[in-house]
Chains A and B, each alone.
Chain A
Amino acid sequence: MANHSVGREGFLKHQVILALSVILDDPVFMCRMHMHMAYRSVAQVPQGADSILASGLIPFLVEKLEEEEEEIQEVILDTLYFCLQWDSLQALQSNAVPILREKLTSPNEDIRSKAARTLMAICMLLDGKNEVWRHDVIPLLVMLLDDPHIDVKGNAAGALMFATVTTEGKYAALDAGAIPFLLELLDVDLPKVRLNAIKTLTMLAEAPEGRRDLLPQVNKFKALFQDPVLYVRHAAQIATKVIEWKP
Chain B
Amino acid sequence: MSFKFIRISRFNFEKEHLIQPLPFLYSFQDVEYDTLELDEEPIRYGNIMYDRRVIRGNTYALHTYPPTSQPDPVELQRQQEAKRKALARKRAREHLRPRSPEPVEGRKHADVQTELYLEELADRIIEVDMECQTDAFLDRPPSPLFIPAKTGRDVATQILEGELFDFDIEVKPMLEVLVGKTIEQSLLEVMEEEELAELQMQQQQFEELRNLELAEVQRLEEQERRHQEEKEHRRQQQLEVLHKQNETSKKIAARAYAKMYLADLLPSVFSNLRDKGYFYDPVERDIEVGFLPWLMHEVDKTIEYNMLGRIVLDMLIREVVETRLNMFEQLGAKQSEVLPDENDKEREESLTTGAEQFIEGSQRSSQRDSQWDSQGGSLRYDSLDSAFTNQRESFERGASFDP
Residues on A lying within 8 angstroms of B by beta carbon are 120, 124, 158, 161-162, 165-167, 191-192, 195-196, 199, 202-203, 206, 231, 235, 238
Known: A167-B226, A206-B223. A120 touches B211 (CB 8 A): yes
CB-defined A-B contacts under 8 Å, sample of 22: A161-B211, A161-B212, A162-B211, A162-B215, A165-B215, A165-B218, A165-B219, A165-B221, A166-B222, A167-B222, A167-B226, A192-B204, A192-B208, A196-B212, A199-B215, A199-B219, A202-B216, A202-B219, A203-B215, A206-B222, A235-B216, A238-B216
Q: Which of B49-108 contact A (CB under 8 A)?
A: none
Q: How far is the CB of A224 from chain B (nearest CB, A)?
A: 14
Complex: A144 Cα to B215 Cα, angstroms: 20
User: Would B222 and A199 count as touching, CB distance under 8 A?
Assistant: no
B212, B221, B222, B226: the one contacting A195 at CB < 8 Å is: B212
Residues on the A chain within 8 Å of B226, using CB: 167, 206
Q: How far is the CB of A77 from chain B (nearest CB, A)?
A: 15
Q: How far is the CB of B189 from chain A (nearest CB, A)?
A: 13
Q: How far is the CB of A194 from chain B (nearest CB, A)?
A: 10
Residues on the A chain within 8 Å of B219, using CB: 165, 199, 202-203, 206
Residues on B lying within 8 angstroms of A by beta carbon are 204, 208-209, 211-212, 214-216, 218-219, 221-223, 226
Closest 10 A-B residue pairs measured CB to CB? A165-B218, A161-B215, A192-B208, A199-B215, A165-B222, A195-B212, A203-B219, A199-B212, A165-B219, A162-B215
Point out which of B208, B209, B221 has the most chain A C-beta atoms below 10 A from its C-beta: B208
User: Would B222 and A158 count as touching, CB distance under 8 A?
Assistant: no
Residues on the B chain within 8 Å of A166, using CB: 222
Complex: A206 Cα to B214 Cα, angstroms: 16
B209, B214, B221, B222: the one contacting A231 at CB < 8 Å is: B209
B204, B208, B209, B218: the one contacting A162 at CB < 8 Å is: B218
A129, closest chain B residue (CB): B218
Complex: A191 Cα to B221 Cα, angstroms: 25
Q: How far is the CB of A166 from chain B (nearest CB, A)?
A: 7
Residues on the A chain within 8 Å of B222, using CB: 165-167, 206
Q: Is the interface of B mostly helix, strand, loop or mixed?
A: helix
A230, closest chain B residue (CB): B209
A192, closest chain B residue (CB): B208
Complex: A195 Cα to B209 Cα, angstroms: 9
A124, A165, A167, A235: the one contacting B212 at CB < 8 Å is: A235
Residues on the B chain within 8 Å of A196, using CB: 208, 211-212
Q: How far is the CB of A171 from chain B (nearest CB, A)?
A: 13
Residues on the A chain within 8 Å of B221, using CB: 165
User: Would A231 and B211 count as touching, CB distance under 8 A?
Assistant: no
Complex: A167 Cα to B223 Cα, angstroms: 10
Residues on the B chain within 8 Å of A195, using CB: 208, 212
A200, closest chain B residue (CB): B215
B209, closest chain A residue (CB): A231
B203, closest chain A residue (CB): A44
User: Would A199 and B208 count as touching, CB distance under 8 A?
Assistant: no
A202, closest chain B residue (CB): B219
Complex: A195 Cα to B211 Cα, angstroms: 10
Complex: A81 Cα to B126 Cα, angstroms: 109
Known: A165-B222, A166-B222. A231 touches B215 (CB 8 A): no
Residues on the A chain within 8 Å of B214, using CB: 124, 162
A160, closest chain B residue (CB): B215
Complex: A162 Cα to B204 Cα, angstroms: 18
Residues on the A chain within 8 Å of B216, using CB: 199, 202, 235, 238
Complex: A165 Cα to B208 Cα, angstroms: 17
Q: How far is the CB of B291 from chain A (nearest CB, A)?
A: 89
Q: How far is the CB of A230 from chain B (nearest CB, A)?
A: 10
Complex: A231 Cα to B205 Cα, angstroms: 11
Q: How far is the CB of B211 from chain A (nearest CB, A)?
A: 6
Residues on the B chain within 8 Å of A235, using CB: 212, 216
Q: How far is the CB of B252 from chain A (nearest CB, A)?
A: 36
Given contacts A195-B208, A202-B219, A231-B209, 7 further A-B contacts (CB under 8 A): A120-B211, A161-B215, A165-B222, A192-B208, A196-B212, A203-B219, A206-B219
A198, closest chain B residue (CB): B212
Residues on the B chain within 8 Å of A161, using CB: 211-212, 215
Complex: A195 Cα to B212 Cα, angstroms: 7
Q: How far is the CB of B197 from chain A (nearest CB, A)?
A: 13
Q: How far is the CB of A108 from chain B (nearest CB, A)?
A: 21
Q: How far is the CB of B51 from chain A (nearest CB, A)?
A: 84
Residues on the A chain within 8 Å of B208, using CB: 191-192, 195-196
Q: How far is the CB of B131 from chain A (nearest CB, A)?
A: 70
Complex: A79 Cα to B105 Cα, angstroms: 138
Residues on the B chain within 8 Å of A167, using CB: 222, 226
Complex: A206 Cα to B221 Cα, angstroms: 12
Complex: A166 Cα to B215 Cα, angstroms: 11
